[in-house]
Structure 1
Amino acid sequence: MDTIASLFSFITTPVSWIIVQFHKVYGALFGDDSGWAWGLSIVSLVVLIRICLIPLFVKQIKSTRNMQVLQPKMKAIQERYKNDKQRQSEEMMKLYKETGTNPLSSCLPILAQSPFFFALYHVLSSIASGKKIGAINQDLLDSARQAHIFGAPLAAKFTDSVEKVTSLDASLTDVRIVTAIMIVLMSASQFFTQRQLMTKNVDLTVKTPYMQQQKMLMYIFPVIFAVMGINFPVGVLVYWLTTNVWTMGQQMYVINQNPTPGSKAQDAYLQRVLKSVTSHGEVRGRTRRKMVKAIVAKGSDRNDIERKFITGLGKLGLAAQEDGTVAKSETAAADAEGSQAHKRQQPKRQTKAKRQTAGHATAGAKGTESEAAGSKTSLEKQDAPQDSKPKSAGKPASGSSRQAKSGQRKGPQRPKHPSKK
């Protein structure tokens, strides 16, 4: 870890300087040696970093969505050139270039945070060892060593020995309880962040291996953080828990305000827009108008959720315009009513008992009809006039043929063989 920290030593001084500046502000409120002063300084460092990373987060969202849209095409390329890896790679790069997608954009926020993370880890490790570092002089070093959060020193770790924890004026039990709770919260926030992304903000019409990979990461990442967390100082756990909570809140905002097309979040968002239009008669808000404008521009390429939204506007007698607004339209209302009238109605499924009863009734009706038909035929035969013409003498009666002996051939007989006379 010292080798990794030395690689990021160029940012250690700026990170320590930012912490010291925040400590001056919070120290005036809570006291210089208070754990809250130092803890809130770390939290403020996280907030400042994440604000600076918002442009990268926007790129991450766009890249993730583009990757979701491109998954079917990527799968087709893999199947087509499965025996030619070089051609497969070339076609993939061509696809990325045509669509303006960068697969690494989804990792940019994490990569950008890495230098600050390792610099903070190096600062806290130096505090635990009693070494001055960056902008932290001896007085600040002594103050930071005395700072405790719920009885746990900022520089203490879950795996520290009793002697090391005692040197920081704390008990091993307090350190392990506090670090364990923070590790659980850190892993839980990571899991919930990934879960809400998979369950709410994913296009349900696209089923690709990428989706399975994201589901696996949803369970793997929290476990990785839990294993790594036992080796992090309390101050680093504060940093990582804060950044996870920030990510979770930031993602909730994006899901509610700019959902992925075809996702459950988009359905909920458009229902809110439709409810607002019903109440006010217009699309309120620039973001909502931008969403409606994008739906209108899609034309026949709209998904089922977007078509449902357009139909809902038609029922209100409104039609979405190219600029994202809505206007009254009798044609839209008529189209909506027509689509409802011609909507195919599926018959309700009957229970087994009802189906059997209906079957018996049908069979009984058929039997009654056949009996009636039979009686009618017999009456017709009785009422038919008898034929008065005499039968031809040359033709044998039908009764005589039935009276013939069994085994005797009809018609002229062959003469017997003389030996059989």
Structure 2
Amino acid sequence: MDLLLATASSTPAPAGGGGFDLIGTILWPLKWVVELVLVAWHALFTAIGLPAADGITWVLSIVGLVIIVRAALIPLFVRQIKSQRKMMEIAPELRKVQEKYKGKKDQLSREAMSRETMALYKKHGTNPVASCLPLLVQMPIFFALFSVLNDVTRHAQAGIGGVGLLNAELTQEFYDAKLFGVASLHETLIDAFNTGNTTAIVILLVLVVLMIVSQFFTQLQIISKNLSPEAKTGQAYQMQKIMLYVLPFAFVFSGVFFPLGVVIYWFVSNLWTMGQQFLVIREMPTPGSEAAKAREERLARKGKAIDASGKVVPMEKYLAEQKRLYEEAERAKAATPKRQQPVGKQRAKKQAQKQPGSTPGDNGTSSA
């Protein structure tokens, strides 16, 4: 608590001598955590012999921050995968609701469609927002990091520290640190152009290109390998294809205005996402997708298969289960009463003549 009070008192007042900084107040706790993680990793790397004021030490600290943040988001990522699976399962029911109210634009119909859709989400324990949770949680952390790095120049020039453990001395070290001795971590592409720092321009441009390529490849993996045939016929698939080519423009914009340290964070985070997505597509693919077929083929070569509960089992156990399920289905089919088809008068007369006890020529009654 004393540390919190001390660091709070070191936070500079907003420019202009007063006023309430809403964004700064909201981001303050996250900035404190970001500084804590950065300083902790920095202390670890300096303890093993890396120079405290060297750019690579602070770059590795940023990489450590990515590891901590993304590892903490793994439970949310698992929840995201489960939510996506459930959304795919209820897709046919959602389409039925949409077809039911197709062309109806009155207020009552829209409200009824919304109620039925929300009822489906509640019944299956999912909603579209759950699929975006990791991104929604990570974005405030990303903005907090941007704010920390963006304040480094102002704080270093004022001789003060950040909101937490990034004190005045460490802030000055961060400000003086240069990647490969040429590119400051607080420097943006615009700054590099203004100062004529050609090497920094090249580094930033290369990182932006790598960010775009990694993001493109990650999305391409999902679209090409991890979507079922049904998912490739919906409107959402068309939107994904459009975003595959539109999203890189956002990275071009970010590469121009974001400091080098933030660009490094984003690129390393993209690498984590790409690797994580590769493992998910390989080991937990969407049922019916190309990736799922490839996994079944790999398991078959090893003498294994996936049972009805989704577990990997020996092929013998899988075949025995399939035989049992087939026999149960046949018994259920045999036990189901057959529907009596309507019979015409002439056909009913012929069937009655064929019954035991009846003689040819009679009309279903015994002879005298």
TM-score normalised per structure 1: 0.64
Q: Is contact 2:193–2:201 with CA below 8 Å preserved after alignment?
A: no
What CA distance in whole angstroms lies between the structure 2 residues aligned with 1:248 and 1:152?
Answer: 27
Q: Give the distance between the partners of 1:5 and 1:122, measured in 2 at CA.
A: 9
* Counterparts in 2 of 1:321 and 1:227: CA distance versus 1, 3 Å: farther
Aligned to 2:33: 14
Task: Indicate the residue corresponding to 2:170 in structure 1.
Answer: 140
Give the equivalent residue in structure 2 for 1:99: 124
Partner of 2:319: 320
Verify: 1:248 aligned to 2:274, yes or no.
yes
Residue in structure 1 matching 2:184, options 136, 153, 165: 153
In the alignment, residue 176 of structure 1 is paired with which amino acid?
A: I
Query: Which secondary structure does the structure 1 equivalent of 2:288 belong to?
Result: coil
Q: Encode CA deviations 1:194-221: one digit per residue, 9 max, x unaligned.
A: 1101111111244211211221222222
SS at match of 1:160: helix
Letter of the aligned partner of 2:177 in structure 1? A
Instruction: Tell me what 1:174 maps to.
Output: 199
Counterpart of 2:63, as a letter, is V
2:92 counterpart letter in structure 1:
P
Match of 1:25 in 2: 44
Q: Does 1:70 align with 2:97?
A: no
Q: Which residue of 1 aligns with 2:335?
A: none
Q: Deviations over 1:233-258 (max 9, x none)?
A: 00001111111110110010011111
* Structure-2 change in CA distance of 1:162 and 1:267 (3 Å): closer
8 A contact 1:15–1:119 mirrored in 2: yes
Count the aligned residue pairs. Answer: 292
Q: Within 5 A, what are the aligned runs for 1:297-336?
A: 319-322=318-321
Could you tell me which residue of structure 1 aligns to residue 284 of structure 2? 258
C-alpha change, 1:162 and 1:222, in structure 2 (3 Å) is closer
Counterpart check, 1:90 vs 2:127? no
State the Cα deviation string for residues 10-42 of structure 1 (Å, max 9, x = none): 221121011011001112332101111100001
Provide the residue aligned with 1:217 in structure 2.
Answer: 243
SS across alignment from 2:285: coil
Question: Is the Cα contact below 8 Å between 1:203 and 1:261 reproduced in 2?
Answer: yes
Residue 57 of structure 1 aligns to a residue whose secondary structure is helix
**Cα shift readout 1:351-395 (whole Å, capped 9, x = no counterpart):** xxxxxxxxxxxxxxxxxxxxxxxxxxxxxxxxxxxxxxxxxxxxx
| Cα distance in 1, alignment partners of residues 150 and 64 from structure 2 | 20
Q: Is 1:37 the counterpart of 2:19 in the alignment?
A: no
Aligned counterpart, 1:196: 221
Match of 2:302 among 266, 270, 276: 276
Tell me whether 267-276 or 175-184 shows the greater mean CA deviation: 175-184
> Could you tell me the percent identity over the aligned residues?
36
CA distance in 1, matches of 2:50, 2:310: 52
Could you tell me how far apart the structure 2 residues matched to 1:138 and 1:318 are? 65
CA distance in 1, matches of 2:271, 2:211: 8
Cα separation, partners in 2 of 1:9 and 1:194, compared to 1, 3 Å: same
- Supply the distance in 1 between the matched residues of 2:80 and 2:320 (Cα, whole angstroms): 30
- The answer to whether the Cα contact below 8 Å between 2:228 and 2:286 also exists between their aligned partners in 1 is yes
Higher RCO (CA < 8 A, seq sep 6+): 2
TM-score, normalised to structure 2, is: 0.73
Preserved contact between residue 188 and residue 258 of structure 2 (Cα < 8 Å): yes
Aligned to 2:16: none
The answer as to whether partners of 1:96 and 1:102 remain within 8 angstroms in 2 is: yes
Larger Rg: 1
Tell me if structure 2 keeps the 8 A contact 1:156–1:234: yes
Query: After superposition, what is the alpha-carbon deviation per residue over 1:236-287, rounded to whole angstroms, capped at 9, x for unaligned?
Result: 011111111101100100111111100010111000110001xxxxx4xxxx
Partner residue of 2:66? 46
* Deviation by residue 1:60-116 (Cα, 9 ceiling, x = unmatched): 111122223333322221221131211110111011111111210111101111221
Give me the CA root mean square deviation: 2.6
Aligned counterparts of 2:43 and 2:317: Cα–Cα separation in 1? 58
1:399 equivalent in structure 2: none
- SS of the equivalent of 1:294 reads coil
Match of 2:307 in 1: 292
Q: Where does the alignment leave 5 or more consecutive residues of structure 2 unmatched?
A: 1-20, 328-368
The offset of 1:121, in angstroms, is 0.8
One-letter code aligned to 1:223: F
